[in-house]
Amino acid sequence: MIYDHGNMVSFQGLKRGMSTGEIPMSSDGCGEGLYEMDKEQQTFFQKVSDDYGDFIKARASKEELRRRIEPRMGGRVLDIGNGGIRDFFSPMTQQYIGLDFSLSMLRKGNQGVEKVCGDALALPFKKEIFDTLFYRSMLHHLARKKVNETEVRVKQALVEGYHLLEEKGNIMVVEPCISQGLEKIERVCYFLIKIFCRIIHQPEVLLFSAKRLRKMLKDSGYGQISEESIPPRGGNRWHLVSPVIGLPRLKVPFGLLPVRQVVVEAKKHD
Ligand SMILES: C[S@@+](CC[C@H](N)C(=O)[O-])C[C@H]1O[C@@H](n2cnc3c(N)ncnc32)[C@H](O)[C@@H]1O
């Protein structure tokens, strides 16, 4: 399903048989029965889509991220788990496609994105047509009940993307990363995270260390992997941010959170 501000639009890069208007649509999300969807995540993002714009207003490091991301964005960009949001405008970019499995998120987002409703684990595009793949604050939402199942899903998503990249293409992953030490504790205490998420009616999330992200990219076939930490907005560690989507009113000084924004970039080949 391609959806662009209420209108169906056509896009040559869609897989054969997947064209506009043909795919049955549920009330939120796309292609019911067509892709393996995570209904709980979809329903959650449907619920938060009204407030998501406000949630990300206070987000740290937008300018710093732009400086790093925009020069590395290629001609045709696929933003996976896009949420209808476009924050990056590189003069090199000719086409910016945002894919998300929540129609509500796509509908409530902003302009300048060609919106495609689909699943990150079964991308509905032809092979080798994108110059840049972009995943921002998305991979940790692929969490499952078990840590190793989550990693399998993340790698599955990254391999899906790999097939769509041009030979010289690059991938950029922006994630809130934790230290390796904290990651060990998180994995042991994952059951507590799941309980907390249940209490606040949010599906579980699993944060990764930058090292883990690099490893998952390597295991998924990517090469030339590099990482960069993004400093907080204007270098101000006391800038208030919302750390949990399910609790949008909770604001915490960025410097007190045990996470850092990291951009991990890789190329299709070494
Ligand atoms: C935290 S939001 C990030 C949105 C946007 N990338 C940003 O940085 O603001 C995560 C997004 O990923 C989407 N998402 C989660 N799992 C997905 C999947 N399997 N396929 C497609 N989109 C997914 C959600 O619907 C949601 O819009």
Ligand 1 centroid to 102 CA: how many Å? 8
48 lines ligand 1 (CB under 6 A): no
Q: Using CA positions, which residue lies closest to atom 1 of ligand 1?
A: 137
Q: Are 173 and 135 in contact (CB under 8 A)?
A: yes
Q: Are 260 and 216 in contact (CB under 8 A)?
A: no
Ligand 1 centroid to 94 CA: how many Å? 23
What pLDDT is stored for residue 29 in this prediction?
54
The CATH number covering residue 262 comes to 3.40.50.150
How many domains is the chain partitioned into structurally? Answer: 1
137 lines ligand 1 (CB under 6 A): yes
Ligand 1 centroid to 84 CA: how many Å? 9
What pLDDT is stored for residue 214 in this prediction?
98
H/E run at residue 253: strand 252-253
41 lines ligand 1 (CB under 6 A): yes
Question: Probe ligand 1: pick from 47, 50, 85, 100, max atoms within 8 Å of CB?
Answer: 100
Q: Among the atoms of ligand 1, which is closest to the Cα of residue 42?
A: 25
Q: What is the pLDDT of residues 94-146, one digit of tens each?
A: 999 999 988 888 888 777 888 888 889 988 888 999 999 999 999 999 999 99
Q: Among the atoms of ligand 1, which is closest to the Cα of residue 45?
A: 25
Q: Is the pTM of this model over 0.85?
A: yes
> CA-to-CA distance for 233 and 165, rounded, in angstroms?
31
CA 227 to chain centre: 17
Ordered strands of the 130-136 beta sheet: 2-3, 114-117, 95-100, 76-80, 130-136, 165-177, 260-267, 223-230
115 lines ligand 1 (CB under 6 A): no
Q: What is the DSSP letter of 215?
A: H
- 3 state SS for 104-132: HHHHHCCCCCEEEECECCECCECCCCEEE
49 lines ligand 1 (CB under 6 A): no
Q: What is the pLDDT of residues 31-75, one digit of tens each?
A: 454 444 477 888 888 888 888 877 777 665 688 899 999 999 999
Coil, strand, or helix at residue 134? strand
Question: Probe ligand 1: pick from 54, 115, 125, 138, max atoms within 8 Å of CB?
Answer: 138
* pLDDT exceeds 50 at position 5: no
> CA-to-CA distance for 191 and 173, rounded, in angstroms?
26
What pLDDT is stored for residue 23 in this prediction?
36
Reading the block at residue 254, the tokens are 């960025």
Residue range of the domain that includes 190:
2-267
What pLDDT is stored for residue 43 in this prediction?
84
- C-alpha gyration radius of the chain: 18
132 lines ligand 1 (CB under 6 A): no
What pLDDT is stored for residue 268 in this prediction?
94
